[in-house]
Amino acid sequence: MFTYLGYFFIFMGVISFLISAIGLVRMPDIYTRMHVGTKATTMGMLLVISGAACIEPSWAWKLILLAIFILLTNPLSSSVIARAAHTDGAILELDELKEMKK
């Protein structure tokens, strides 16, 4: 039973990675790409780790340590990327919907 649950978690993690990849291509500027690249991949990786823990319970403690490491480093890397982009002078794209309402 846990094996099927693990495969489901892994499948949902892969779907999250796919949505993240599409979002990276579709988003207009560095700030929104950074948001998609960190939030969706963090969730996807945690789902894959949860699935692996369900499939192979003897690895659970190692996978929990890996999940904690990912939860600590992904927001930090996102912050560093945002600061570097801001320092470099990256600009936000204009909101096209707001312009259309005028």
Give the three-class secondary structure for 1: coil
pLDDT digits (tens, 9 = 90+) for 31-67: 888 888 888 899 999 999 999 999 999 999 999 999 9
Model confidence at 71, pLDDT cuts 50, 70, 90, reads very high
Nearest to 48 by CA among 96, 93, 15: 15
pLDDT digits (tens, 9 = 90+) for 88-98: 887 777 666 56
Distance CA 52, CA 33 (A): 28
| Per-residue pLDDT, 91 | 77
Max Cα-Cα span within the chain: 60
Other CB atoms within 10 Å distance of the CB of residue 78: 16
Which segment of 71-75, 80-84, 88-92, 95-99 scores lowest on mean pLDDT? Answer: 95-99
Query: What is the model's pTM?
Result: 0.82
